[in-house]
Structure 1
Amino acid sequence: MYSVVLLSGGKGSRMQEDTPKQYLLLAGKPMIMHSLERVDRLVDVDEIVVVCAPSYRHVVKQMVHEYNIATKIVFVDAGQTRQESVYNGLKAVYNEFVIIHEAARPFVKQEEFQALIDDEEFNVIYGYNISYTVLKGHGYVSGILDRSELLNVQLPQKFKVSDLIDAHDKAKQRGDVYTEDASLMFANSQKKIKVIRGTSFNIKITEPIDLLLGEIIYKDYIINRK
């Protein structure tokens, strides 16, 4: 069986809303519920660890009740950084394998979660080839990155829990900070990380324009392409 760590602790300051983005409405329901409902239908998942701010725990509990989520829900307090939040969530899971996802990525289909579970590799992520030119520099161009070797790293991601905790411990000891877990594991572990091709629809809702695009993506990708 699998655990899912669902990250929902962000403040969403760039969204320019009083309410964190993961609780704003998208296609008529709170954004976090799009992921919770799909994960709830996965027969291989028997535990969902929701990592959120303590002040929003009661909000999520009410949503779980209203939307009849049947899978066991465990609540864990978010940390000061995303990395701390993941670590807090990992410490709460009891299964050997975990799927890490973000509530602000509401366009991942059930079969995409299932593809991670079905893959025989222990550590698997989604990635999407970058189709635009990427330059290095601060104020002035200092270099060009080869886009054929670059990936837009996406979630969900699957890991063996012990492998990821070990990598987190090493990163913490070094004082290194990462914005997602594939890069953290790559830098702090010798374990292989397999990449499955993602989709351009799997965007993270970050800014106001993303909510507008999200309504279009939901109608075209989630509803019309079932």
Structure 2
Amino acid sequence: MANIALIIAGGSGHRMQQDIPKQFINVYDKPVLMYTLEGFQKHPQIDAIELVCIDGWQDMVWAYAKQFNITKLKWIVPGGESGQESIRNGVFNLEGKAEDDDIIIIHDGIRPLVDEMVLSDVIVVCKKHGNAVTSLPYNEQIFVVNEEDEGTTMKYIPRETLRRVSTPQAYKFGKLDWAYHEAFEKGIGIKGSAYTNTMMVDLGEKLYFAAGSDKNIKLTTKDDLEMFKAYLKADKDNWLK
């Protein structure tokens, strides 16, 4: 059984308002994407990495991988028109390469602070249940807008019933491959902001929660980028348990 990371870096990053895709922005002389790949490179349970990348940037990524010693990178696949198409491209490329019981860990290339503990727990939960989605409790109060008066509310959702989910997410390859064929053939769970986790639920699958981390931020805006830089510079206090 192998553990294969499927890193999604096919977006153009318009919201960052920069001249190059945000996954290739340099932070302290290293592209954001390389920080992400290093997290998987260093994890002892990750056997191989597949990257879904904007078409035309493949040679650049191979060069960066050599420079930063990302030896586990085995395949680079062109991205699609949407996030779901990009993931599908990566999954279909693994046909004939991955076994049905192999664990595929899907992760956003612009989440460069993936924690080793989070990766480990995703793998453990997926081995036990067949899938795993990174999750955290929701710590804010959630109120529902009044349909008759959008400036008011009379209903809330108990936060104990909610979870925030993100990547990494892990799935056994056989089920994942089936799901993407099924979803794209029938048009289920592939539109708008859909992701693998929402698609699986739309297909009737039960998902299992794994550990998450507040540090696992997604770099979408310039403020996110500044937060990432602050995390990199921060020193941990020794007295914190």
Q: What TM-score, normalized to structure 1?
A: 0.88
Using the aligned pairs only, state the percent identity: 25
- Is 1:81 the equivalent of 2:82? yes
**Structure 2 unaligned spans of 5+:** none
Rounded to whole Å, the distance in 2 between the matches of 1:175 and 1:187 is 7
1:197 aligned residue (211, 230, 240): 211
Number of equivalenced pairs: 223
Aligned to 1:118: 124
1:181 aligned residue (196, 203, 215): 196
Q: What TM-score, normalized to structure 2?
A: 0.83
**Structure 1 unaligned spans of 5+:** none
Q: CA RMSD in A?
A: 2.3
Rounded to whole Å, the distance in 2 between the matches of 1:160 and 1:87 is 15
Rounded to whole Å, the distance in 1 between the matches of 2:47 and 2:26 is 26
- Is 1:210 the equivalent of 2:210? no
Rounded to whole Å, the distance in 2 between the matches of 1:46 and 1:207 is 32
What is the CA distance between 1:149 and its match in structure 2?
1.6
Do the aligned partners of 1:6 and 1:102 also contact (CA within 8 Å) in 2? yes
Matches within 5 A, 1:165-180: 165-172=177-184, 173-176=186-189, 177=191, 178-180=193-195
Tell me which amino acid in the other structure corresponds to 1:100.
I
Rounded to whole Å, the distance in 2 between the matches of 1:82 and 1:108 is 19
Tell me which amino acid in the other structure corresponds to 2:164.
N
1:145 aligned residue (157, 176, 180): 157
Aligned to 2:32: 31
Mark the structure with the bigger radius of gyration: 2
Aligned to 1:155: 167
Tell me which amino acid in the other structure corresponds to 1:84.
E
- Is 1:101 the equivalent of 2:107? yes
Tell me which amino acid in the other structure corresponds to 2:182.
K
Any runs of at least 4 consecutive aligned residues in structure 1 with deviations exceeding 6 A, and if so which? none
Tell me which amino acid in the other structure corresponds to 2:110.
A
C-alpha distance 201-55 of structure 1, shift in aligned 2 (>3 A):
same
SS at structure 1 position matched to 2:129: coil
Rounded to whole Å, the distance in 2 between the matches of 1:7 and 1:170 is 21
What is the CA distance between 1:129 and its match in structure 2?
1.5
Post-superposition Cα deviations, 1:88-114, rounded to whole Å, max 9, x if no partner, equal: 101122232200011110111233222
Rounded to whole Å, the distance in 1 between the matches of 2:46 and 2:65 is 16
